[in-house]
Amino acid sequence: MNRRDFLLSGLAQALRAATLDRSIVGANTALSGYGLYQAVEALRRIGFASIEIHPMGVPDPTPEKFPGFVFDRIPEAEKRKIRKSLEGFQHITTHLPYIGLNPFSQEREVAEASCLTIRTALDATAYFGAELAVLHAIAPKGRRLEEFWPVMIRRIREWGDFAGGRRFKLTIETGFPTSVADFVRLVKEVDHDGVGCTIDVGHQRGYKELVAKVKPEERATPAGIRAYNDTTHAIIDGLREKIWHFHVHDIDPPTWQEHRPLGTGFVDYPRLIAKLRQIDYRGLLVLEIGAPGSEIEAHLIDSKRRLEAFL
């Protein structure tokens, strides 16, 4: 091989390594007004290769409920029906329950009931062949972080053991603890091969480091928007190889309200995608968009197109 061919082959390898495949773009089934099967078929029809399901909620369209299921409350036939509906997706992930749960409570019965709910959802993750489950760390009311920190570390390690034994990964989603330093510390102190991080691009607005920099009236300014994006990048820089999953959407500049369709320009996706290439990111980008049922599919189609263009 001559020098020119050698250099070209090396360039080709570098470009391949820097390319994020479009199959990593997915969406979750939390579509307002949809039942579970309607939501799954909508995402299939739009052309998503990856899907995130919710082992919480109910299969039929129900106001104020996620399109989902509670694994130990549905019959075996329903479980098989759900598994059949997921055939053809290249990647499946789950979002574990969090509403009304208090797994780190001082009250034993409360903590055990919450942990059982999470464990049941982990059973569902294994049953449906998902490769990753997303966990919210939940703060007990009225307790300082250091008071329940050891219990939180222990329980997350236990869930990581359970996930690892069933060949899927567990990720802690950003949002709590409410600082970059403490969130990075949590993932690092869990120190588990099967436990990593999900970054939700809209969950940084309450982080102490960001709140200290940006006043409410400065949120929509270029400096305020840049500071927000910097906070997301600080988490990436702190955890790098532990970043395994993303929830993506856009943010309303004046209010910092999340789960908006892509297009507000708040989240700096070119910068974010460049950073993901830099750290050799291997996970998914799952769209989480809130919109009325009559509009959600159009927003998903447009957001998918925009995200794939960034890739």
Tell me whether residue 8 is in a domain.
Answer: no
Output the domain CATH number for residue 148.
3.20.20.150
Tell me whether residue 296 is in a domain.
Answer: yes
Percent of the chain with pLDDT over 70: 94
Tell me whether residue 117 is in a domain.
Answer: yes
In terms of Cβ atoms closer than 10 Å to its own Cβ (0-12, 13-18, 19+), residue 188 is exposed
pLDDT at 14 over 90: no
| Cβ contact 158:190 at 8 Å | no
Tell me whether residue 301 is in a domain.
Answer: yes
pLDDT at 15 over 80: no
pLDDT in tens, 37-75: 999 999 999 999 999 999 999 999 988 888 999 999 999
Q: What is the pLDDT of residue 19?
A: 58
Structural domain of residue 202, as residue ranges?
A: 21-310
pTM, entire model: 0.91
Tell me whether residue 36 is in a domain.
Answer: yes
Tell me whether residue 173 is in a domain.
Answer: yes
Q: What is the pLDDT of residue 209?
A: 96
Per DSSP, the chain holds a count of helices (H) and strands (E) of 10, 8
Half-sphere exposure of 306 (CA within 13 A, CB side): 19
Q: What is the pLDDT of residue 17?
A: 44
Tell me whether residue 6 is in a domain.
Answer: no
Q: How many domains does the chain have?
A: 1
Tell me whether residue 297 is in a domain.
Answer: yes
